[in-house]
Amino acid sequence: MSNELAMGKQNVGSLLWKFSLPAIVGMLVNALYNIIDRIFVGRGIGSLAIAATTVAFPIMLIMMAFSMLIGIGATALISIRLGERKKEEAEQIIGNALTMLIILPLIISVIYLLFSDPILILFGASPEVLPYARDFTHIIMLGSVLGSLGMGMNNFIRAEGNPRLAMITQLSGTFINVVLNYIFIFKMGLGIKGSALATISGQMVTTLLVLSYFFSGRSIVKIRLRNLKPQLAILTSIVAIGFAPFAMQLANSLQNLILNKSLFTYGGDLALSAVGIIMSVSMLLLMPVVGVSQGAQPIIGYNYGAKQYARVKETLQKAAIAGTGISIIGFLAIYLWPTQIVGLFSNNDVALTKMTADAMLVYFALCPLIGFQIIGSSYFQAVGKAIPSIILSLSRQVLLFIPLLVFLPKFWGIDGIWRTAPIADGLATLLTAILIYLEMKHIAKIRHDQSSREDKKMDLVAENNFRGTDNRPSPITGRS
């Protein structure tokens, strides 16, 4: 139990680094699945293939949303229960979560396969892009359970204090994805189908490694057959906490749907390819920040459950500083080398390179603020406060980004699409700052009340000791 107990005692800075580094690698690994696909299909097939992965991306986000609904919701509860020393309840949570991580992707995949072409057209596939999108997405959906289990259960490994293993399992899957993408596309000539096959092969490796950890007896929290039967009370708690990242991912999917439609209207397939590259760059920028938030989450959740509020506040502060620093570094890289970054995805396509590089300079104008906004939103997930977490998670994508995306292009055309992101970033950060300020005031009051109770208890003990001393029999007379 040393890893678990360390969350309540070890230095917060070193603990955050220990948890965040593997989480950052893990989140980058998740991002790299899509980015690697786009790099290989862009350089090996062409811009229409990039557009096809862009069409598939919001569908994959829906799958990811359900994995996060269960995975992150269960992870927060597991961390809190371990902090409360309720291991049996933590095992009930992980058993229910495992069952749902299998059932939900199966249901979604069946729905997709029944209505695949209408769905792909809805998400922006033109007649030229549709065959590529169909070939790619069909294979991805057939392997959806692998992606769901690997992503969802990696969070459980981190929740019980073993982030290094979570990193290793994800890195192994990514390595397989890279190698097989190269072999399937450039050596075997399988085209975009080869990229999809490489993706689900990597996910399968990750899933097998994760399951072997839990079923080998090495884990703190065990998977027991009796806990696999879904229980409404447990699932309700998981969904309540996991709904925020779930809603955020669904909002991302809706955002990408509207974005794809708008881009095709104002810029055609070339603009669709450009935004595919921008989304890949955005994931490279944001996933390390999300990794910091994932690393901070079990620390915050454990100490919140243990009522160690000073450590909760310190973890939040240091995570926010780290997230902001990462955002600033990403911002500088984009502004210093926009053409070189785009060149990773394009094989000397001058028009695509120019459109994408110019758009990125506008799209990421306020990205230094994103780090704080993501950390602030994840804080409320970690402490089990679903409502503020939902509000912050939806603020950028639903409350701000989507309305702006519909409104601004009517006045500025395609430039209005690129300007949507920085405006939404600024307003969402302001809302996050307000809610975090109110939460810190609330925690300060709790700590003050705790301190007052402890002072009263010490005064009472001192008074009793004093009375006990006064009432002791005299060593000479034997009387008090």
Mean pLDDT of 412-417: 88
Instruction: Please give the mean pLDDT across all residues of the chain.
Output: 83
CA distances from 284 to 30, 259, 350, 406 (A): 10, 19, 23, 26
φ/ψ of 60, rounded to 5, equals -65, -30
**Number of residues written out for the chain:** 480
Residue 62's pLDDT band (cuts 50, 70, 90): confident
Structure tokens at 37: 């696909």
The distance from CA 452 to its chain's CA centroid, rounded to whole angstroms, is: 38
Q: Do the beta carbons of residue 82 and residue 159 sit within 8 Å?
A: yes
Query: Is the pLDDT score of 358 beyond 50?
Result: yes
pTM, entire model: 0.68
Residue 454's pLDDT band (cuts 50, 70, 90): low
Percentages helix, strand, coil for the chain (3-state, rounded to 5) are: 85, 0, 15
φ/ψ of 192, rounded to 5, equals -70, -25
Query: Is the pLDDT score of 418 beyond 80?
Result: yes
Query: Is the pLDDT score of 459 beyond 70?
Result: no
* Nearest-angstrom CA–CA distance, 325 and 190: 41
Smallest CA-to-CA distance from 395 within 427, 363, 364 is with: 427
The highest-confidence range among 131-145, 297-311, 383-397, by mean pLDDT, is 131-145
Mean pLDDT of 396-423: 86
Residue 442's pLDDT band (cuts 50, 70, 90): confident
Give the residue with greater pLDDT, 13 vs 471.
Answer: 13
Torsion (CA) 419, 421, 424, 428 in degrees, nearest 10: -150
Residue 3's pLDDT band (cuts 50, 70, 90): low
Helix pair angle (47-83, 12-44), 10° resolution: 160
* Nearest-angstrom CA–CA distance, 56 and 108: 14
Structure tokens at 207: 């899933």
pLDDT tens-digit readout, 265-323: 887 778 888 888 888 888 888 888 888 888 888 888 888 877 788 888 888 999 999 99
